[in-house]
Structure 1
Amino acid sequence: MQKNNFLRSFCCFLLFALSLVTTAQETNNVVPLLNYIQQLEQNFNIRISYVNKDIESFNIQPSASTSLGEILKYISKKTDLTLTKLNERYYALSKENTISIHAKILDNYEQNTVNGATIEVLESNIATVTDATGYFSLNNVPKDAILRIRFIGFKTMHISAKELDSNNPIKTFLLSQHYVALKEVIVSKFLTTGLSKSKDGSIVLNTTNFGILPGLIEPDVLQTVQALPGIKSSNETVSDINVRGGTNDQNLVLWEDIKMYQSGHFLGLISAFNPYLTNSVTIIKNGTSPQFGDGISSVIDMRTNNKVDNSFLGGGFNMISADVYAQVPITKKSAFQFSARRSITDFLNSPTYNRYFDKTFQDSDIDKNTTNNDITREEDFYFYDITAKVLYNITEKQKLRFSFIHMNNALDYQETNANNETALSKLDQQNTSFGGSLESRWTSRFSTKVNAYRTSYNLNTKAISNNKEQELQQTNKVLENGLKLNTNYKLTNKISLLNGYQLIETGILNLTNVTLPPYRKNIKGVIRTNSIYSEIDYKSTRLNARAGVRVNHIENINTFKRWIVEPRLNVNYNLATHFNANILGEFKSQSTNQIIDLEQNFLGVEKRRWILADEDQLPITTSKQLSLGFNYDKNSLYIGIEGFYKDVEGISTQTQGFQNQDQFNGEIGKYNITGIEFLINKKTTSYSTWLSYTYNINNYTFKAITPNTFPNNLDITHTVTFAGTYNYKDFRFGLGINYNSGKPYTEPKEGENALDLFSFPTKINYKEPNSSRLPNYLRADISALYNFKLNKTCKATFGASILNILNKENILNRYYRVTEQDEIETIESASLGITPNISFRVSF
């Protein structure tokens, strides 16, 4: 055995020695090209012309051939110089600086040809476009040139010219579509362009590439998400979105990784986020990554443009507001982004504004159509929002971002009677947030992201009575600081690992002050949440699986400490070609909720105030959810069905909007919801039509209420949407019909038992909670857009829409109150009537 090892070692040494000798011999035989050419001229009696600087840097090993032709070909091959024969004796040797190139461009999703993509040779005037097959060719391109390939809706690609030399086989390159930058996609066009469905079950909205939806002429973020199954607003607002039967405060709304405590303008009818600067929105209903805490019903994650080299400018107006937005490069590594929007309602009473105003202030103390000549009314209502972002690429692998957003709603209402007595009511709502992030890619496998933010929310209302003897002031303030660290490590090409830590400190103040009779209530609280989380992600051809856990330590400085463990699961499996199944599951919790101040508190306008859990009067709200779904997508047809079960504990009657005998009790209970969501979508390049249906059974359980189990306030059993969009040249049209069964409410008892006249104040005796139903809801909407060019650099869009084109009066809510004459008054909230709107926009 030792002898064999010795022989092997000796042979290896011998081979190594021979290779060294051979290399040394080759090195010793290398001569300057200039000397070799002079030797050839003498040997073959020829003359070779050249420029000294083109060949003086080359060294060459002389050819073993004796043929002049073969020797000259050998020199050209070894040096990449071009040899031209002038006649039998004279030759020219030159350095060729240009080449001819060709290639083929396809898209990376279905590998369709990309017709009309622009190919530019940087730092030159050479350019062309791809033909119908995606092919292109160029001549006289510098060898060291870089080509830039661009096409609308796709990521820009840069390629070296040497890769495309016409002497090489034609190469095919795949352009990456813009909306698949973050997630793998099952459905690239979901209902309309700009909407896509990812393999993890989330929906991604790309506003840059957004098409059209019925009733929408602008990609309003929070309006658009309501087109998806399982998401709706029971009161036709964007600030009260109900996802799978949950209340609006159970949605985690993020803007640039910053938690938002305000999401709407015009008391919730308009989204507070500029849709033209919001580049992408991800909506997650279940199977959430453990990096997201809070939001037991959904996550709505909004992101603005994140590329430094992008430059754009645009603006426009509709019948409610006007806005402008832009991104301006500062240097090659930095850019500044901003947007500003303001309502025009305080100086233009458009039909759209009047419809919105009537809906918001119906059955309130404000009545624009009053016929009482003895009373003078003045109202001043406006809103605005401002955003800014600084983008700086420290290096190619490190990106620094700073973001800022401020939004404001203001209402001043003054009423003067015949005795010159004045009543004044004011409402001011503001949200100011700023934050920053640093993304770093340390290696090809390891990256980190650090994010920090501070958000402040203020709601102030004041009401002064006619005799000025009584003043009511209510204040709700939220101040939150957040810090988050994510690490991503790619273990293999299929497996990656996410780990992270998050710290959130939330302080909330609720102040109520009444002058007559004197009353003051001031509640302050702070909750600090420390969370660690870990997630493993596996991706293969057929299986995409993600599993993780989040561990929260929640501490209310004054009252409690609690540990909560939240496992998460997200699995998508390709059962067959075009056919996928997914299983999603999650445990989640949240320590902030909104209590609802009902109509009689302020001008007849409902207000929502944020409060903290204290594990006494209001516990931490927790949820468990599991869903199973199947998706089929082939060519132009998509069919999806998903069943789910959700159980939510730790809710209060004060956070659910009760308007019966239980609204002030503060009872603690839970709700569970079982449902099925179905969608069928037929789509082509020119049209898309879909039918969606949602079935829910949503019940409360409160041990202190009789009966213990009864329908949830948001129990809408059946929801149906039938809609379609059509594109013709530069026109886009959308038409849709929405139907749902009525939500439950509580009626008073009949006859003499309706009132308890022996109580003070007089109370209503109700039937069993939510034992009655509102009439069914039906609304049809239509919209149209026309795109055109004002010049070579300026694009314009004109849009028109009509909400509720049938002008059907839908009852959204019904409740009862006792008048001064001890009679029961029925109060109903109706939907928007027929509401037209137009818009005009330009972009550069």
Structure 2
Amino acid sequence: MRWKTRIVLFIYFVFGLSYHVMAQEKDSLSIILKDLENKYNVQFNYAPENIENVFITSPEASLTLSDVLLYLENNTDLKFNDSENGIVIITKPLRLFCGYIKSKEGNLPIEQATIQTKNSGTVSDETGYFEIEVKNTNDRLIIRSLGYNTINIFFENNQKSTCRDIFLEQNIESLSEVFLTNYITTGITKTNLGSYEIDFAKFDILPGLIDTDVLQSIQAFPGILSVDETVSNINIRGGSNDQNLILWDGIKMYQSGHFFGLISLYNPQITKDVLLIKNGTNASFTDGVSGTISMNTDTKLNTKTTGSIGFNLIDLNGYLNLKISDNSSVEIAARKSLSDFTETPTFNRYFERITQDPDFENNTSNVLNTNEEFDFYDFSLRWLYEISKKDKLRINFINASNKLVFDENTIIDDLERSKESKLTQNSIAGSVFYKRLWNEKLHTTFEFYETDYKLQATNANILEDQRYLQENQISESSFKLQGNYKINKSIKLNLGYQFVETEITNLDDVDNPVYRLLISEVLRTNGIFSELSYSSPNNQTHINFGVRYNYINKFKKSLIEPRLSFTHGFWNHFTIEILGEFKSQNTSQIINFQNDFLGVEKRRWQLSNNNTIPIIQSKKGSFGINYSKNNYLISSEFYYKFVKGITTQSQGFTDQFQFEKSSGTNTVYGLDLLLRKSFPNYNIWLSYSYMDNNYSFNSINQNPFPSNYDTTHAATFGSSYIKGDFKFSLGLNWHTGKPITEPVEGNEIVNNEINYQSTNSSRLDSYYRVDVSALYMIDINRKIKGQFGGSLWNVLGTENVINKYYTIDNGSVIETNEMSLNFTPNLSARFIF
């Protein structure tokens, strides 16, 4: 048995020795450092994450401190720096990573590509070369270049002795090439198609805004304002709001505002960018004879989950960009008014603004409105799924609502009676977008959307024991097929087909006496479009020419609509642009009575009937010249717009033509001018617009006369200051008052009707407003950032009259003034993670 005992002892000795060796190799560096601190009377300073999971054999006891530090450097991936005061600083040495950025197509170098890590960044030179210091072996490098897909690479997979080539693929869906950067402020650019883009990821700040309200932001551009100060009545170069095509990720929207127009319906947290087109529209777009406002969510997959929670004195809001997998992500955004929780001064200001109409305030002196409640919410969702490298799917959904409720109270026969009146406005829409990349030259897209809108009012007339119900509903479906083919480096061709079916239903229902009028109409439109684009090799000349053919089945009507945009750069700092388009639309908003829908939201959508309500058609042309050098920008554009098929009911008359039903034309001549100068931390701009905006109607003998939206002169001054994480902006807005029609002085009433002067022969006083806003960003901790802001709208409390009209009451003329939003403060806080 002795030999067995010897074998057991031998095995025990071998395994024990192996364990001792392994134990030595697995000593934690943190433990070793503590032993060395006691032995050599030194102190090691280091970031804990730098020595995590580092295990080495302890140095021999006979070594000096210098030899020990050399030993540790040779056996770890760390740098040990000894100082005279007995402190040894441990750091991770920086590594240098280099490469050449090239295009996958053509193998050409890409200049000015940005390369970023968590701690540093650089750009590539004219040969595409770059080098960047990398702190950690698992650092991720993000490489971006305009017109190419962003890529991510990891340093640990690319440690080579020589620099490597990195190839970027062209991004066919990239935004139009930038012609003028920082057009007004950072994040606003002008493209080679003559359109404007706001990238909210780069957006700085505008006066009076602490959130990136889309429809408020675009009013910073010359030629765009709202005569009644609402986002639901934006006037692009003197056109009415119903002449604007509003798109959210390709979905046509018929509702644009919360608080019945005071703030944008579209959640700023999920809206990545907005495209504004005043002329030269792409042939793939239909509708919107005055202009196009196209909002978009992010089209790139999120690499990690991010989100935010915030509030201001109007609403609570939240946002989440959730990474589902490497090829799928979801964006969710929601807002809810504060009315269920508290009433703030800001909320009350907004509520007073929308309910100042006399028909809402009190029907008669014997009726009192009580229990007034207002609420709004919106919910937005976008899902991205990359089926493969060549197939991409996007699904969108949006739901928004406004609700106003109040009780009408009175005393009849010594009994107190009460009835509820209510106004609701809802939009719900969804879409599917699919893109197929067949090869580097050809890709196709398919889009489908369904959008529904409903405006409903129940007006309880308690004195006459009457209930008046009004409804306006829209249901629209559309699908679009497009093919984009790159003929060569300079020429691209776009072909497509679109089908649109629109149904609009209007209801007027009275219970005493019984009256019910229900009208439902449907129009179907087939559209074929084609567009050819050319960019010169030196990138100085860009031409887009397209044609759209629309056929309306119900009227057997064909419409041919050419579109053109031309831009050319010369003398290094100058560009000229020539834009033109023909467009048409089948829908418009009309006002039957000023007290429709409780006098709060008076307009209802209606389809063209090709007779009393014609198809609206426009012809537009413009010429512009721009100069940009040394952070100076001078931009000017002269334009002409002719619109036919408008009706008196769609233009919001409040005078002798309020009940007139006539069609006519609108002719506008104008100039838009912008001057801007940028400094390192400061930016100032001045915009000016001039327009001559006139109507002519078939059954009105006063033609031509000023349009209801003729603000002859409009000027805006703005400034912004940015220092680190602090942003401040101050601005003022001024424009001539809108035209109005006043009664003949001294002879106001004839035959129990108001005796008016010539139509729009008078004007309101000029509009003037000063706004201030500020934002500050702070790092709360390593994972959460805080953004805090404040704004003052109408700082000086200017009492601007935005509309005036007259009615008869007991044989007297009553003047009614609609006032703008008075001094309104707002505060916001957002926590970003």
- Indicate whether 1:345 and 2:339 are aligned: yes
Q: Which residue of 1 aligns with 2:535?
A: 539
- Indicate whether 1:816 and 2:817 are aligned: no
User: Do the aligned residues in 2 keep the contact of 1:530 with 1:554 (CA within 8 Å)?
Assistant: yes
CA shift, 1:764, in A, is: 1.0
* 1:790–1:251 CA distance, 2 compared to 1 (3 A): same
Residue 734 of structure 1 aligns with an amino acid whose one-letter code is S
* 1:388–1:101 CA distance, 2 compared to 1 (3 A): closer
SS at match of 2:260: helix
User: Do the aligned residues in 2 keep the contact of 1:598 with 1:606 (CA within 8 Å)?
Assistant: no
Q: Which residue of 1 aligns with 2:769?
A: 779
Provide TM-score, normalisation by structure 2: 0.82
User: Do the aligned residues in 1 keep the contact of 2:361 with 2:369 (CA within 8 Å)?
Assistant: no
User: Which of 476, 483, 486 is the aligned partner of 1:480?
Assistant: 476
CA shift, 1:597, in A, is: 4.5
CA shift, 1:366, in A, is: 4.3
Counterparts in 2 of 1:716-727, with a 5 A limit? 716-727=711-722
Q: Which residue of 2 aligns with 1:552?
A: 550
CA shift, 1:109, in A, is: 14
Q: Show CA shifts across 1:627-664 (max 9, x none).
A: 00011122311110000000000010000001111111
CA shift, 1:830, in A, is: 1.0
Residue 607 of structure 2 aligns with an amino acid whose one-letter code is L
Q: Show CA shifts across 1:335-389 (max 9, x none).
A: 2221111101243221111111121111424449x99999461111100011112
* 1:511–1:841 CA distance, 2 compared to 1 (3 A): same
Q: Which residue of 2 aligns with 1:613?
A: 608
User: Do the aligned residues in 1 keep the contact of 2:100 with 2:109 (CA within 8 Å)?
Assistant: no
Q: Which residue of 1 aligns with 2:420?
A: 424
Q: Which residue of 1 aligns with 2:677?
A: 682
Which blocks of at least 5 consecutive residues in structure 2 are unaligned?
A: 1-94, 103-107
Q: Distance in 2 between matches of 1:373 and 1:105?
A: 78
User: Which of 688, 694, 711 is the aligned partner of 1:693?
Assistant: 688
Compute the RMSD of aligned alpha carbons.
3.1
User: Do the aligned residues in 2 keep the contact of 1:346 with 1:380 (CA within 8 Å)?
Assistant: no
User: Which of 427, 434, 449 is the aligned partner of 1:438?
Assistant: 434
Q: Which residue of 1 aligns with 2:830?
A: 841
Q: Distance in 2 between matches of 1:812 and 1:152?
A: 46
Of 448-457 and 190-199, deviating more is 190-199
Q: Which residue of 2 aligns with 1:19?
A: none
Q: Distance in 2 between matches of 1:139 and 1:624?
A: 59
SS at match of 2:400: strand
Q: Which residue of 1 aligns with 2:59?
A: none
Q: Which residue of 2 aligns with 1:333?
A: 327
Counterparts in 2 of 1:174-185, with a 5 A limit? 181-185=174-178
Q: Which residue of 2 aligns with 1:495?
A: 491
Counterparts in 2 of 1:582-731, with a 5 A limit? 582-731=577-726
CA shift, 1:424, in A, is: 2.5
Q: Which residue of 2 aligns with 1:37?
A: none
CA shift, 1:751, in A, is: 1.9
SS at match of 2:201: helix
SS at match of 1:301: strand
User: Which of 285, 288, 296 is the aligned partner of 1:292?
Assistant: 285
* 1:637–1:113 CA distance, 2 compared to 1 (3 A): farther
* 1:103–1:443 CA distance, 2 compared to 1 (3 A): closer
User: Which of 516, 522, 528 is the aligned partner of 1:520?
Assistant: 516
* 1:420–1:110 CA distance, 2 compared to 1 (3 A): farther
User: Do the aligned residues in 2 keep the contact of 1:100 with 1:140 (CA within 8 Å)?
Assistant: no
Aligned identity (percent) is 41
Q: Which residue of 2 aligns with 1:61?
A: none
Counterparts in 2 of 1:161-176, with a 5 A limit? 168=162
SS at match of 2:272: strand
Residue 280 of structure 2 aligns with an amino acid whose one-letter code is G
Q: Which residue of 2 aligns with 1:7?
A: none
Q: Show CA shifts across 1:10-34 (max 9, x none).
A: xxxxxxxxxxxxxxxxxxxxxxxxx
SS at match of 1:286: coil
Q: Show CA shifts across 1:34-78 (max 9, x none).
A: xxxxxxxxxxxxxxxxxxxxxxxxxxxxxxxxxxxxxxxxxxxxx
Q: Show CA shifts across 1:67-109 (max 9, x none).
A: xxxxxxxxxxxxxxxxxxxxxxxxxxxxxxxx97435899x99
Aligned residues: 724
User: Do the aligned residues in 1 keep the contact of 2:803 with 2:818 (CA within 8 Å)?
Assistant: yes
Residue 116 of structure 2 aligns with an amino acid whose one-letter code is A
CA shift, 1:552, in A, is: 0.2
Counterparts in 2 of 1:357-506, with a 5 A limit? 357-367=351-361, 375=368, 377-418=370-411, 419-467=415-463, 469-506=465-502
User: Do the aligned residues in 1 keep the contact of 2:802 with 2:819 (CA within 8 Å)?
Assistant: yes
* 1:698–1:376 CA distance, 2 compared to 1 (3 A): closer
- Indicate whether 1:806 and 2:806 are aligned: no
Residue 553 of structure 1 aligns with an amino acid whose one-letter code is Y
User: Do the aligned residues in 1 keep the contact of 2:577 with 2:625 (CA within 8 Å)?
Assistant: yes
Counterparts in 2 of 1:60-459, with a 5 A limit? 101-103=97-99, 117-118=116-117, 135-137=131-133, 148-149=141-142, 156-158=150-152, 168=162, 181-310=174-303, 311-367=305-361, 375=368, 377-418=370-411, 419-459=415-455
Residue 340 of structure 1 aligns with an amino acid whose one-letter code is A
Q: Distance in 2 between matches of 1:730 and 1:173?
A: 35
* 1:662–1:533 CA distance, 2 compared to 1 (3 A): same
Q: Distance in 2 between matches of 1:140 and 1:453?
A: 47
Of 265-274 and 190-199, deviating more is 190-199
CA shift, 1:497, in A, is: 0.0
Provide TM-score, normalisation by structure 1: 0.81
Of 357-366 and 715-724, deviating more is 357-366
Q: Distance in 1 between matches of 2:398 and 2:98?
A: 47
SS at match of 1:716: coil
CA shift, 1:306, in A, is: 1.7
Which blocks of at least 5 consecutive residues in structure 1 are unaligned?
A: 1-98, 120-126
Q: Distance in 1 between matches of 2:262 and 2:420?
A: 24
Q: Distance in 2 between matches of 1:185 and 1:407?
A: 33
Residue 814 of structure 2 aligns with an amino acid whose one-letter code is E
- Indicate whether 1:797 and 2:792 are aligned: no
User: Do the aligned residues in 2 keep the contact of 1:502 with 1:530 (CA within 8 Å)?
Assistant: yes
Residue 187 of structure 2 aligns with an amino acid whose one-letter code is G
Residue 693 of structure 1 aligns with an amino acid whose one-letter code is Y
CA shift, 1:684, in A, is: 3.2
CA shift, 1:271, in A, is: 0.5
User: Do the aligned residues in 2 keep the contact of 1:590 with 1:620 (CA within 8 Å)?
Assistant: yes
Residue 246 of structure 2 aligns with an amino acid whose one-letter code is V
User: Do the aligned residues in 2 keep the contact of 1:105 with 1:130 (CA within 8 Å)?
Assistant: no
Q: Distance in 2 between matches of 1:716 and 1:583?
A: 25
